[in-house]
């Protein structure tokens, strides 16, 4: 493969914890500690969560800040584990700058979709951006096998992504009340797909 743009500079050496992922994990961990601290947590939730447009609490920066807030150990663990599991290959392939741009665009896009479709509780968590990373993994490494604990045999990444995307759509349509932001997950995948197609059109992806 070749990236034809002169300003593109991918990582030249594979690393298990590339810079963007390492710093995202650290910042998320710091915010998680803050969110579980009395008074500090209330402040972070009030001003950092992504509040619905009609709530009176929405602020534009929440489209970024909500990505760093998580509601519990399980929530943050699975998001950051998936970020590391699928994101390291993408960052090593694209380089840190492009990966970081992609992460935040998909996260912001996920938040926008959530705002347009849902009007209930505020949204927190990096899931939208993580699903964008998952989509990128499936597009960049479509035939790479993924072994799941709850699945008896490996499944190709492209099928894994398609199944997960379909489940998010189905759950989003069928769930009348849920603490899971299914449409944010879909939003991250949609924005990720559009961005990758744009880069391909510009000749910046092989």
Whether residue 69 contacts residue 35, with contact meaning beta carbons closer than 8 Å, is answered with yes
- Which of 170, 95, 90 is CA-nearest to residue 130? 90
- Which of 143, 116, 136, 117 is CA-nearest to residue 194? 136
Clarify whether 127 is annotated catalytic: yes
Clarify whether 178 is annotated catalytic: no
- Determine which one of 9, 39, 75, 185 is catalytic: 185
Distance CA 84, CA 104 (A): 15
- Which of 179, 173, 198, 193 is CA-nearest to residue 127? 179
Whether residue 143 contacts residue 156, with contact meaning beta carbons closer than 8 Å, is answered with yes
- Determine which one of 127, 174, 177, 178 is catalytic: 127
Distances (CA, A) of 143 to 20, 154, 185, 204: 25, 11, 22, 21
Catalytic center residues: 127, 185
């Amino acid at each position: 493969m070749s990236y034809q743009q002169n300003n593109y500079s991918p990582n030249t050496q594979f690393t298990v914890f590339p810079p963007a992922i390492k710093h995202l994990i650290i910042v998320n961990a710091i915010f998680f500690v803050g969110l579980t601290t009395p008074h500090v947590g209330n402040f972070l939730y009030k001003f950092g969560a992504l509040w619905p447009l009609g709530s009176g609490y929405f602020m534009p920066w929440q489209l970024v800040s909500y990505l760093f807030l998580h509601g519990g150990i399980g929530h943050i663990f699975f998001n950051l584990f998936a970020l590391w599991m699928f994101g390291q290959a993408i960052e090593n392939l694209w380089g840190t700058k492009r990966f970081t741009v992609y992460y935040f665009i998909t996260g912001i896009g996920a938040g926008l979709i959530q705002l347009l479709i849902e009007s209930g509780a505020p949204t927190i968590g990096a899931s939208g951006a993580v699903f964008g990373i998952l989509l990128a993994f499936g597009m960049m490494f479509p035939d790479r096998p993924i072994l799941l604990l709850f699945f008896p045999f490996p499944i190709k990444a492209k099928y894994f992504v398609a199944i997960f995307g379909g489940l998010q759509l189905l759950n989003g349509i069928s769930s009348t009340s849920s603490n899971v932001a299914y449409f944010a997950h879909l939003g991250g995948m949609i924005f990720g797909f559009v961005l990758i197609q744009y880069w391909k059109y510009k000749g910046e992806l092989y």
